[in-house]
Structure 1
Amino acid sequence: MRILIVHNILWAHYKSSVFQALQQRIDQQPKASLMVLQIARNERSRAGLETATDSSTPTYSYRYELLFDRFIEDVPLRERALALLGRVQAHRPTVILLTGYYDPAQLLLLLWAKAMGIRVIMQNESTAADQQRGGWKEQFKRWILQRCDGFFCFGNQSANYLLKLGVQADKILLRKNAVDNHALRRAYEKALVSRTEQQQLLGLRASNFVFVGRLIPVKNLPALVTAFADALQKTQHSANWGLVLLGDGPDADTLAKQISALGLANAVKLLPGRPWHQVPNILALSNVLVLPSLSEPWGLVVNEAMACGLPVVVSDRCGCVPDLVLPNQTGFVFDPAQPEQLTRHMLAFMNNEIDISRMSRAAQERIAPYAPEAVAQEMLAGFMKVSN
């Protein structure tokens, strides 16, 4: 069994941890091999994060080829398609994993592989809720999906979307998404030692809600700031709680103006984005993660926070919700169209109505099966099932 994975960008660290775990398992299989074709080094929106590394940056080992040492936006379709076809012909795989159905170059590769008798598994992260669905695009997706032999999905919402498009249930081979739980937890515990000192250094309050991600409209951050402001006015513990927005993006100036207009300069802090392995340094200064997105295929920051033991408050538009967010156990779910729900959940934490320690333990227990090792094992089982 010769496995070939086509992946978009080398920078995607969370995939690298899974690829390493998969490589370790495949090395134990007789007559099995793995190669990952990384199309490009990174994407422009994350360019600043790829260079912000140091001696503490985790490294991962697996067999891969980098086709283009530049941003993926700078690789034309023709060049991408020819490179992929050439490398696939050279590796002669028995099964190929494609990143998704949105890349025309990979769709061409799918059709070529099927003509050559090569099995194809398609990765899917989309859900029915993350965009408006319908029309000829959905019919075209059905046609594409009918030509695949199996699917790796980012959770149950992603799988359910494929089922609605006519995919057979036994072709859903994986329903999970993972980050490097162990590396994140180690960094978090190390940072936790100096929590109070770092809070004082950054001007943070003793307890904090935290958002981690790009500062873009779909993240719904103005609503988060407003909900937090409303909660502050309704609690007797307003001096104890703050809000941290960790990230960069085009909404930064708008958010800064909103924070100033609401008189929240001492309570809400905008901190610049940082590489993933340094995010636990900020999670260690926080108590609860909030992800208020209007649309989110999964929401890996929820994995990251739960691996560090943080309860989460997550919009019901995020794909990870049915899998990870158990109401009153690992956190809370709210409708972003009803911001008063978010205010109510934040107030429950502020007013000490929630046993955060209990939620922290439940979060860590819930996220444990969503680890690279577990995902890699299910991927290998899927590859074997399709190949046989």
Structure 2
Amino acid sequence: MRVLIVHNILWAHYKSSVFQALQQLVDKQINVDMKVLQIARNERSRAGIETTANTDGETTAAPAYQYNYELLFDRFAEDIGVVERTRALLQRAKAYKPDVINLTGYYDPAQLMLLVWAKRRGIRVIIQNESTVADHERGGWKERLKRWIFSQCDGFFCFGSSSADYLIQLGVRPEQILLRKSAVDNNALLSAYQRALPTRLAQQKALGLCANNFVFVGRLIDFKNLPSLINAFAEARRQSIESAGWGLIMLGDGPQYDALIRQVANLNLSDWVKILPGRPWFKVPDVLALANVLVLPSRSEPWGLVVNEAMACGMPVLVSNRCGCVQDLVHDGQNGLVFDPDQPAQLTRSLLRFMQNEVNAAQMGQLSQRIIAPYAPEMVAQEMLDGFKKIV
């Protein structure tokens, strides 16, 4: 069995950890081979966060993942035309002669051309789906096109139950869904988090942070719903006499930065809300170690991998019910709390429950680690390999 995987960008570390685990499984198999075609090195919007500088001035590179891949274009994904992508994918596929192809998604015309090419030659096709019903408005010709695309596929790898449910609504048979998980490098993240914990108090003091903190990690963009998070935090501070020791950390870059800084100043929260510049994924645990609870308040989110990252570090999570991961990862009242992003009072109340010690945060964090354990790269890779075998 020859497996060809098409992926968009080499930078996507969470996929690389799965591909490495899959490669290790494949290497133990007889008559099984795999190759990953990485179309581009990175996206322009994520440029500059592959490495970062330590406090001593040394540059730390990202962990290296080992698997059989070819980088088709050593430039940004946005700079690669459809014709270029199509020609390169078809050329490599013809040369490799796969039995099954795993495509990244349904939105790239070049990969759809590869789908048509494969179907004409009897090659099995598995497509990855991250989308859910809730993350965008659904309907019209786009949904009809997706129905046709999915009808041409033999199997599906989904980010979770919500994305699987969406496919079933579009006519996919439940038995065609071969995977309902997403993974990050749980072990690498936890190791980095544990290394950072001993310096927590010193780093909090150096950055002017509170002893207890909520933390958001992600791009500072509209659908992340960050103005509402700041307002909810301000209201929670107003309502609780226990709020003095609590702050809010926002880790990321994006077009809303200036507006958020102004909002923080206008609410007189500059001593309690800190916006820190974005950093590579393998340095994010350094900031998680300065906080107590992750908050993801998005109005739209296909999954929310930062929730995996925080849970791998043993943190409780506050997550919007519009995030695809909620159905699988967040057990409301057990390892975190779920809220409606269109109901600000719900978010305020969730923040207050932690500020006022109405929940057992340590116990929630321990449960987070137990829940996220099956969402490890090794587990996801095994299910992918089983799926390839079933389809072929």
Structure 2: how far apart are the matches of 1:213 and 1:137?
28
1:41 aligns with 2:41: yes
Deviations 1:204-234 (CA, angstroms, capped at 9, x unpaired):
0000000000000010000000000000011
Q: Secondary structure at the match of 1:194?
A: helix
Residue equivalent to 1:288: 293
Structure 1: how far apart are the matches of 2:325 and 2:60?
32
**Aligned positions, number:** 387
TM-score computed with the length of structure 1 as normaliser = 0.99
Residue equivalent to 1:216: 221
1:121 aligns with 2:126: yes
Structure 1: how far apart are the matches of 2:274 and 2:60?
28
Given that 2:51 and 2:60 are in contact with CA atoms closer than 8 Å, whether structure 1 keeps it comes out as: no
Q: 2:158 aligns with which of 133, 153, 163?
A: 153
**Which aligned pairs between 1:191-206 and structure 2 lie closer than 5 A?**
191-206=196-211
Q: Which runs of 5+ in 2 are unaligned?
A: 54-58
1:261 aligns with 2:278: no
Residue equivalent to 1:8: 8
Aligned-pair identity in percent equals 65
Residue equivalent to 2:378: 373
Q: Secondary structure at the match of 2:49?
A: helix
The amino acid of 1:307's aligned partner reads: A
Given that 2:50 and 2:62 are in contact with CA atoms closer than 8 Å, whether structure 1 keeps it comes out as: no
The amino acid of 1:297's aligned partner reads: P
**Which aligned pairs between 1:1-388 and structure 2 lie closer than 5 A?**
1-52=1-52, 54-55=59-60, 57-387=62-392
The amino acid of 1:285's aligned partner reads: L
Aligned in 2, Cα 1:56/1:197: closer, same or farther, shift over 3 Å?
Answer: farther
Residue equivalent to 2:56: none
Cα distance, 1:56 vs. partner? 6.1
The amino acid of 1:359's aligned partner reads: M
Structure 2: how far apart are the matches of 1:190 and 1:329?
27
TM-score computed with the length of structure 2 as normaliser = 0.98
Structure 2: how far apart are the matches of 1:307 and 1:72?
30
Cα distance, 1:55 vs. partner? 4.2
Cα distance, 1:38 vs. partner? 0.2
Structure 2: how far apart are the matches of 1:289 and 1:258?
21
Q: Secondary structure at the match of 2:314?
A: coil
The amino acid of 2:28's aligned partner reads: Q
Q: Secondary structure at the match of 1:269?
A: strand
Structure 2: how far apart are the matches of 1:226 and 1:49?
29
Q: Secondary structure at the match of 1:11?
A: coil
Q: Secondary structure at the match of 1:39?
A: strand
Cα distance, 1:57 vs. partner? 2.9
Deviations 1:276-300 (CA, angstroms, capped at 9, x unpaired):
0000000000000000001000000
